[in-house]
Protein backbone atom coordinates (compact mmCIF):
# COMPACT_ATOMS: atom_id res chain seq x y z
CA UNK A 1 0.00 0.00 0.00
CA UNK A 2 1.36 3.43 -0.99
CA UNK A 3 0.94 6.25 1.52
CA UNK A 4 -0.30 9.43 -0.12
CA UNK A 5 1.62 12.42 1.19
CA UNK A 6 -0.76 15.34 1.63
CA UNK A 7 0.20 18.89 0.78
CA UNK A 8 0.59 21.13 3.80
CA UNK A 9 -1.02 24.42 4.67
CA UNK A 10 0.40 26.96 7.09
CA UNK A 11 -2.24 28.43 9.41
CA UNK A 12 -1.74 31.83 11.05
CA UNK A 13 -4.21 33.33 13.52
CA UNK A 14 -3.91 37.10 13.15
CA UNK A 15 -6.33 37.83 16.01
CA UNK A 16 -8.19 41.14 15.86
CA UNK A 17 -6.63 43.03 12.96
CA UNK A 18 -7.49 46.07 10.87
CA UNK A 19 -9.06 45.04 7.56
CA UNK A 20 -6.58 47.04 5.49
CA UNK A 21 -3.61 45.50 7.28
CA UNK A 22 -4.92 41.98 6.68
CA UNK A 23 -5.56 42.84 3.03
CA UNK A 24 -1.98 44.07 2.66
CA UNK A 25 -0.68 40.81 4.13
CA UNK A 26 -2.71 38.81 1.62
CA UNK A 27 -1.55 40.95 -1.28
CA UNK A 28 2.09 40.41 -0.28
CA UNK A 29 1.60 36.63 -0.30
CA UNK A 30 -0.16 36.74 -3.66
CA UNK A 31 2.50 38.96 -5.25
CA UNK A 32 5.24 36.60 -4.07
CA UNK A 33 3.34 33.67 -5.59
CA UNK A 34 2.80 35.52 -8.86
CA UNK A 35 6.53 36.29 -8.99
CA UNK A 36 7.37 32.58 -8.64
CA UNK A 37 4.85 31.62 -11.32
CA UNK A 38 6.23 34.26 -13.68
CA UNK A 39 9.78 32.99 -13.21
CA UNK A 40 8.71 29.47 -14.18
CA UNK A 41 7.95 30.86 -17.64
CA UNK A 42 10.43 33.69 -18.08
CA UNK A 43 13.49 32.32 -16.32
CA UNK A 44 13.04 28.64 -15.40
CA UNK A 45 16.78 28.33 -14.61
CA UNK A 46 16.42 30.72 -11.70
CA UNK A 47 16.44 28.65 -8.46
CA UNK A 48 13.45 30.64 -7.22
CA UNK A 49 11.43 29.28 -10.15
CA UNK A 50 11.53 25.83 -8.55
CA UNK A 51 10.08 27.03 -5.28
CA UNK A 52 6.80 25.39 -4.31
CA UNK A 53 4.21 27.95 -3.34
CA UNK A 54 3.18 27.28 0.26
CA UNK A 55 -0.56 27.14 0.87
CA UNK A 56 -1.52 29.47 3.71
CA UNK A 57 -4.65 30.23 5.71
CA UNK A 58 -5.16 33.39 7.75
CA UNK A 59 -7.78 33.38 10.50
CA UNK A 60 -8.80 36.67 12.08
CA UNK A 61 -11.45 39.07 13.26
CA UNK A 62 -11.82 42.68 12.18
CA UNK A 63 -13.01 45.82 13.96
CA UNK A 64 -16.37 46.95 12.54
CA UNK A 65 -15.94 47.33 8.78
CA UNK A 66 -18.03 47.20 5.61
CA UNK A 67 -16.41 45.89 2.43
CA UNK A 68 -17.68 46.14 -1.12
CA UNK A 69 -16.75 43.67 -3.86
CA UNK A 70 -15.49 44.88 -7.23
CA UNK A 71 -18.86 44.26 -8.91
CA UNK A 72 -20.91 45.46 -5.95
CA UNK A 73 -23.23 48.45 -5.85
CA UNK A 74 -22.29 51.33 -3.54
CA UNK A 75 -25.98 52.05 -2.93
CA UNK A 76 -26.10 48.80 -0.94
CA UNK A 77 -24.29 50.74 1.80
CA UNK A 78 -27.26 52.50 3.38
CA UNK A 79 -25.42 55.05 5.55
CA UNK A 80 -23.12 58.02 4.95
CA UNK A 81 -19.59 58.68 6.16
CA UNK A 82 -20.75 60.48 9.29
CA UNK A 83 -22.95 57.57 10.30
CA UNK A 84 -20.03 55.21 9.68
CA UNK A 85 -17.91 57.28 12.06
CA UNK A 86 -20.69 57.31 14.64
CA UNK A 87 -20.79 53.51 14.50
CA UNK A 88 -17.02 53.28 14.82
CA UNK A 89 -16.93 51.49 11.47
CA UNK A 90 -14.82 51.83 8.32
CA UNK A 91 -15.47 51.11 4.66
CA UNK A 92 -13.31 49.52 1.96
CA UNK A 93 -13.91 48.97 -1.73
CA UNK A 94 -12.06 45.73 -2.43
CA UNK A 95 -10.87 43.60 -5.35
CA UNK A 96 -12.77 40.47 -4.31
CA UNK A 97 -15.89 39.07 -5.91
CA UNK A 98 -19.33 39.54 -4.39
CA UNK A 99 -21.20 42.61 -3.20
CA UNK A 100 -21.22 44.25 0.23
CA UNK A 101 -20.79 42.61 3.61
CA UNK A 102 -19.95 43.40 7.21
CA UNK A 103 -17.06 42.16 9.35
CA UNK A 104 -16.76 42.64 13.07
CA UNK A 105 -16.00 41.10 16.46
CA UNK A 106 -17.66 37.74 17.08
CA UNK A 107 -17.13 36.66 13.49
CA UNK A 108 -14.59 34.15 12.15
CA UNK A 109 -12.92 35.46 9.02
CA UNK A 110 -10.83 32.99 7.01
CA UNK A 111 -8.53 33.97 4.16
CA UNK A 112 -7.22 30.91 2.26
CA UNK A 113 -4.12 31.76 0.22
CA UNK A 114 -3.95 28.68 -1.97
CA UNK A 115 -2.25 27.75 -5.21
CA UNK A 116 -5.12 25.97 -6.91
CA UNK A 117 -2.77 24.64 -9.58
CA UNK A 118 -1.53 22.27 -6.88
CA UNK A 119 -5.09 21.21 -5.97
CA UNK A 120 -7.48 21.64 -8.95
CA UNK A 121 -8.01 24.42 -11.47
CA UNK A 122 -11.73 24.90 -10.96
CA UNK A 123 -12.85 28.09 -9.23
CA UNK A 124 -16.46 26.95 -8.94
CA UNK A 125 -15.35 23.75 -7.24
CA UNK A 126 -13.17 25.83 -4.91
CA UNK A 127 -16.14 27.96 -3.85
CA UNK A 128 -18.25 24.84 -3.26
CA UNK A 129 -15.36 23.49 -1.18
CA UNK A 130 -15.36 26.59 1.02
CA UNK A 131 -19.10 26.21 1.48
CA UNK A 132 -18.71 22.54 2.33
CA UNK A 133 -16.13 23.29 5.03
CA UNK A 134 -18.61 25.66 6.69
CA UNK A 135 -21.55 23.28 6.25
CA UNK A 136 -19.57 20.56 8.01
CA UNK A 137 -18.45 23.00 10.73
CA UNK A 138 -21.90 24.24 11.71
CA UNK A 139 -23.33 20.72 11.48
CA UNK A 140 -21.35 19.91 14.64
CA UNK A 141 -23.56 22.50 16.37
CA UNK A 142 -26.74 20.91 15.03
CA UNK A 143 -27.28 23.47 12.25
CA UNK A 144 -28.09 22.37 8.72
CA UNK A 145 -26.19 24.61 6.33
CA UNK A 146 -27.37 24.75 2.74
CA UNK A 147 -26.49 26.34 -0.58
CA UNK A 148 -28.82 28.81 -2.25
CA UNK A 149 -29.04 28.59 -6.02
CA UNK A 150 -27.55 31.64 -7.70
CA UNK A 151 -25.81 32.87 -4.53
CA UNK A 152 -22.57 31.99 -2.81
CA UNK A 153 -22.20 31.38 0.90
CA UNK A 154 -23.96 29.14 3.41
CA UNK A 155 -27.59 29.54 4.35
CA UNK A 156 -30.13 28.12 6.75
CA UNK A 157 -33.59 27.14 5.47
CA UNK A 158 -32.48 28.13 1.98
CA UNK A 159 -35.47 26.53 0.26
CA UNK A 160 -38.17 27.91 2.56
CA UNK A 161 -39.74 31.13 1.22
CA UNK A 162 -39.32 33.98 3.67
CA UNK A 163 -37.06 32.02 6.01
CA UNK A 164 -33.71 31.81 4.19
CA UNK A 165 -30.97 33.48 6.20
CA UNK A 166 -27.24 33.67 5.56
CA UNK A 167 -24.80 32.53 8.22
CA UNK A 168 -21.59 32.72 6.17
CA UNK A 169 -20.66 35.17 3.41
CA UNK A 170 -17.97 34.51 0.80
CA UNK A 171 -16.02 36.50 -1.75
CA UNK A 172 -12.65 35.70 -3.28
CA UNK A 173 -10.06 36.87 -5.76
CA UNK A 174 -8.17 34.42 -7.95
CA UNK A 175 -5.18 35.37 -10.10
CA UNK A 176 -3.23 32.70 -12.02
CA UNK A 177 -4.93 30.20 -9.68
CA UNK A 178 -3.69 31.96 -6.55
CA UNK A 179 -6.51 32.81 -4.15
CA UNK A 180 -7.08 35.53 -1.58
CA UNK A 181 -9.98 36.95 0.45
CA UNK A 182 -12.39 34.23 1.56
CA UNK A 183 -15.25 33.80 4.02
CA UNK A 184 -16.83 35.22 7.16
CA UNK A 185 -18.84 33.00 9.52
CA UNK A 186 -21.14 34.74 11.98
CA UNK A 187 -20.56 33.17 15.40
CA UNK A 188 -21.38 35.75 18.10
CA UNK A 189 -21.73 38.69 15.71
CA UNK A 190 -23.72 41.81 16.52
CA UNK A 191 -26.24 41.39 13.72
CA UNK A 192 -27.52 44.96 14.10
CA UNK A 193 -24.60 46.09 11.93
CA UNK A 194 -26.15 44.28 8.98
CA UNK A 195 -29.11 46.68 9.15
CA UNK A 196 -27.02 49.39 7.52
CA UNK A 197 -26.36 47.47 4.30
CA UNK A 198 -28.16 45.27 1.81
CA UNK A 199 -26.10 42.17 2.67
CA UNK A 200 -24.45 40.70 -0.43
CA UNK A 201 -26.87 42.81 -2.47
CA UNK A 202 -29.79 40.53 -1.52
CA UNK A 203 -32.62 42.54 0.01
CA UNK A 204 -35.25 39.84 0.64
CA UNK A 205 -33.31 37.45 2.87
CA UNK A 206 -32.00 37.65 6.40
CA UNK A 207 -28.71 37.20 8.21
CA UNK A 208 -28.09 35.03 11.24
CA UNK A 209 -25.35 33.69 13.52
CA UNK A 210 -24.65 30.49 15.42
CA UNK A 211 -25.38 32.38 18.65
CA UNK A 212 -28.76 33.58 17.40
CA UNK A 213 -29.76 30.12 16.20
CA UNK A 214 -28.75 28.35 19.41
CA UNK A 215 -29.61 31.12 21.86
CA UNK A 216 -26.29 31.03 23.68
CA UNK A 217 -22.77 32.48 23.47
CA UNK A 218 -20.54 30.19 21.41
CA UNK A 219 -16.92 29.26 22.10
CA UNK A 220 -15.20 30.91 19.14
CA UNK A 221 -11.95 29.00 19.60
CA UNK A 222 -13.89 25.75 19.36
CA UNK A 223 -15.49 26.90 16.10
CA UNK A 224 -12.08 27.78 14.64
CA UNK A 225 -10.66 24.42 15.65
CA UNK A 226 -13.53 22.54 14.03
CA UNK A 227 -13.34 24.69 10.91
CA UNK A 228 -9.62 23.97 10.49
CA UNK A 229 -10.30 20.25 10.75
CA UNK A 230 -13.10 20.40 8.17
CA UNK A 231 -11.19 22.73 5.83
CA UNK A 232 -8.20 20.38 5.83
CA UNK A 233 -10.53 17.44 5.20
CA UNK A 234 -12.33 19.06 2.28
CA UNK A 235 -9.17 20.26 0.52
CA UNK A 236 -7.06 17.22 1.50
CA UNK A 237 -4.41 19.33 3.19
CA UNK A 238 -2.27 18.74 6.25
CA UNK A 239 -2.24 21.56 8.81
CA UNK A 240 1.30 22.78 9.31
Identify the CA nearest to 100 among candidates 80, 74, 82, 62.
Answer: 74
CA–CA gap between residue 213 and residue 209 (Å, rounded) = 6
Please compute Rg for the chain using Cα positions.
Answer: 18
Please identify which of the residues 60, 168, 174, 200 carries the catalytic annotation. Answer: 200
Residue 221 phi/psi, 5° resolution?
-65, -35
Residue 16's SS3 state is strand
* Annotation says 200 is catalytic: yes
Residues 6+ apart with CB under 8 A from 52: 118
Cross-strand bridge partners of residue 11:
57
CA–CA gap between residue 81 and residue 154 (Å, rounded) = 30
- State the DSSP string of 87-144: HT-EEEE-SSSS-EEEE-TTEEEEEEE-BGGGT-S-HHHHHHHHHHHHHHHHHTTT--
Measured torsion, CA atoms of residues 201, 206, 209, 213, in degrees rounded to the nearest 10: -160
Q: Catalytic residue numbers? A: 200
Amino acid sequence: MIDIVKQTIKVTDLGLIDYGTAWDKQEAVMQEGLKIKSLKFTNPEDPAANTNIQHQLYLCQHPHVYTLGKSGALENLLINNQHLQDLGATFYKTNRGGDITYHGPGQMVAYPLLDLEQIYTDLGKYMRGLEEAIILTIATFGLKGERLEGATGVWLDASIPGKARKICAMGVKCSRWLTMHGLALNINSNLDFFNYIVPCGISDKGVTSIQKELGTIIDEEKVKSIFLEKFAEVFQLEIN
